[in-house]
Structures are given as C-alpha cells and as structure tokens.
Amino acid sequence: MMRIVHVIAEFSAHEAMGRTVTEIAQRVPGEHVVITTSAHDGREAFAEVVELGGAVETFPLGRREALDSALARLKPDLVHVHGGALVPLLVTRTAIPWYPNLLTMYAWPVLPSLRRLRAGGVRAAMQSNVLRPRVLASSVLPKWLVKRSLRRSGTREVLTPDPRVERKLGATRVGSGGPQDSRRAVYTDQAPVVLFAGRAESVRGIDTLLACFPDVVREAPDARLRLLLIPRPELDALLETARAAGLGDNLDVVTEPVADLLGEMAAAQVGTWPFKYDYTTSPPAMAAAEALSVGLPTVGTEVSCVEAVIEDGVNGDLVPPA
C-alpha cells in the first residue's frame, strides 16, 4: 500500500487546507499520514498524525531536524506538501526533496491596490488575513525564484485552486471539494432566507449585505437575512451596524456555534459571500463550497478565493466586489 505523507503547517479539518487533505485521504487509496506543527481535530481520517510543534510561520524549515527525522521513520512513497507561495523556498533545505513529492499551492496572495483598500477599509484589512507580513513577502516574490526552488526540490507537480497560481506557474487547476449531504435547498417565495456564514469581518462583505438588504425587503417584504457569524474583533462593530440597519424581523444574527451548518444552508434559499479582496481567505472559500454541496443558489464576488469555487453562470453568480 502506498504511504502518502501530507506536510502542512497547521491542521484543522474545518479550514480549507485541512479539509482538502482530509478529502484526499478519504478518496485516494493508500495510507495517509499528516506531519504538522499542531492538529486541532480530524485525526480519525489518517493512519497517523505527527505533531512537531514550533511556529506555523517558519514551518517546515523551522522544524527541519524533527521533520527530517519523521520522514526517515515513515519512509513515504510520496510527500504531498500543502501551503502558499513561500513554501517552495522553505522546502528546499529539508529532507522533502529526497522523496517523490508534489505541492498543492493554495494561494499566491498579493497586496490589494490602494483604491481597493480605501474602499474596504485599511483597519479592517489589518485585522483580517488580507494584510499580513506573509502577504507582503509573497507580493514581491519573483516567479523565477519559486520555479527554481521547485526544480531544486524535485517537485513533480503543482496543483492549485487559485487562478493566479495557475497563470503564474502553469499549475494544474483543481476544483474545490465539498462535503457529501443528501439534503437539498428548496425554492420558496414565502419568507425566503438569504444566508451568510463565516467570520465576523467586514472584509467578507457583511456590511455590504446590511447596507443593501433594505432594497431586497422592498421587493420581497418577508425576506430574511440570516448571518451566522464566527466572533472576531469586529463583531461588536458589525452588530451595531446590524442594529442601525433597521431591518427588524428581516434580520437574524447568530454568534454561537451552529450545530448543523449544512442543515442551515439547506433551509435557506440563497447563499451569499460578497468578499471584498482576492485573498479574504485562502482559496477555496469553503463556505461557498458547502453551500453548493446542498444545492443552495449562491452569489459571490469576482475575487480569487470565491472564483476558486464559483464559476459565473455555471454553478452560481459573480458580481464585482463593493
């Protein structure tokens, strides 16, 4: 049986990268092992999970000796590295090049334009994943250096859900997986629900939804906007914005964990993710993929992380970001 070792900085089956690794383990025959700094959940999908500790930002180079030792013990037939644009530079000085390997590069994030930052709010961008030191580093990262690092590592294939990586490296585009569920969203014009689920961040367009929903209510007076929010530093400010919107019974806001997210999606009539930036989150935007998995009509914005899931006019609709 082939032994496939997945190397990922931090693992959670609830995040995009971790979800992808889990789906690979479930669908690709072989013995699957994860090597990571820390695993928060989802261990049951793998034959073994090796936690090395250390800083996520410098992994795998920062834990080189421990990583090399783990690989020597496991003797993998294939090493599957999961990460962003900087990972090829960090891999070359580890033992990973000694083994057959491939890379899934989830994103090549770049800094937004000043116009886009002004429109979306600089402070909000700094509180989210949009403005991070690694984004600055990957923004100035030359393509030739990444390609050289991939050659030095003997990386056989680069996979990606990100259109930018596909263009830059000629990588193989992979679709976004989603959970399997037999439930399906059903159309109704009686109290239709428009659903958003995700972090309480204005970079995700929650303020846009609150600003435009009065227009929806004028056309459909019993329509409801349902926000399932994961608390973040902006939560209180967004709740105040929600109160000021004056939507009354047309607005539901949930800030506690939802036991059955797919059930919530199947009970809605429209899902929407009006993200403002290409890399509001790492592609693919998993909430949109989950919505599509239960047949929920979905509207998103023309940004990379959403375009990794939604193809305009094919499985959803895309509009320019606000």
Tens-level pLDDT at each residue, the chain (322 residues): 899 999 999 999 888 889 889 989 999 999 999 999 999 999 999 999 999 999 988 899 899 999 999 999 999 999 999 999 999 999 999 999 999 999 999 999 999 999 988 888 888 988 888 988 888 899 999 999 999 999 999 998 999 999 889 999 999 998 776 788 999 999 999 999 999 999 999 999 999 999 999 999 999 999 999 999 999 999 999 999 999 999 999 999 999 999 999 999 999 999 999 999 999 988 889 999 999 999 999 999 999 999 999 999 999 999 999 8
How far is 171 from 155, CA to CA, in rounded Å?
12
**Pair 149, 204 in one domain:** no
Segments in the chain forming alpha helices (H): 16-27, 64-74, 87-91, 114-120, 122-127, 133-139, 143-153, 163-169, 206-219, 235-244, 261-266, 286-293, 304-307
How far is 82 from 18, CA to CA, in rounded Å?
9
Among residues 62, 69, 306, the alpha carbon closest in space to that of 196 is found at 306
Neighbours of 147 (CB within 10 A): 16
Greatest extent of the chain over all pairs of C-alpha atoms, in Å: 65
Sheet harboring 101-105: ordered strands across? 48-51, 31-36, 3-8, 78-83, 101-105, 155-160, 172-173
pLDDT of residue 291: 97
| Domain termination residue (choose one: 145, 173, 201) | 173
Q: Using N-to-C axis directions, what is the helix angle for 235-244 and 206-219, rounded to 10°?
A: 20
Counting every residue written for the chain, the total comes to: 322
Number of domains in the chain: 2
Q: Rounded to two decimals, what is the model's pTM?
A: 0.85
Residue 243 included in any domain = yes
- CATH classification at residue 67: 3.40.50
Find the domain containing 151 and state its range: 3-173
- CATH classification at residue 279: 3.40.50.2000
